[in-house]
């Protein structure tokens, strides 16, 4: 649909804030990351940012799972 705005990954993951789950931990980390691309909708850009800037393997794996869910919505 032309002109329709997609939900950003940032807004998607913020829906998990305060959850006692890996997605909740990721949401907390992303919310504290001032350089995170908050307006980005393209999963490739999010994945590249995380791979370049995050070192915690569990956080990277959780991001990959979250991106899969984000893309399915």
SS (H, E, C) 30-66: HHHCCCCCCCCCCHHHHHHHHHHHCCCHHHHHHHHHH
9-72: CATH topology is DNA polymerase; domain 1 (1.10.150)
Position 16 scores a pLDDT of: 98
Position 4 scores a pLDDT of: 46
Dist CA 42 CA 28 (whole Å): 21
Position 1 scores a pLDDT of: 40
Dist CA 28 CA 71 (whole Å): 20
Residues in the chain with pLDDT values less than 70 = 1-5
Among 52, 42, 31, 48, smallest CA distance to 8 is for 42
């Amino acid at each position: 649909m032309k002109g329709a705005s997609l939900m950003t990954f940032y807004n998607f993951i913020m829906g998990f804030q305060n959850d006692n789950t890996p997605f909740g931990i990721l949401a907390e980390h992303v919310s504290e990351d001032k350089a995170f691309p908050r307006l980005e909708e393209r999963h490739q850009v999010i994945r590249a940012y995380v791979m370049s800037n995050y070192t915690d393997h569990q956080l990277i794996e959780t991001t990959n799972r979250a991106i899969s869910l984000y893309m399915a919505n």
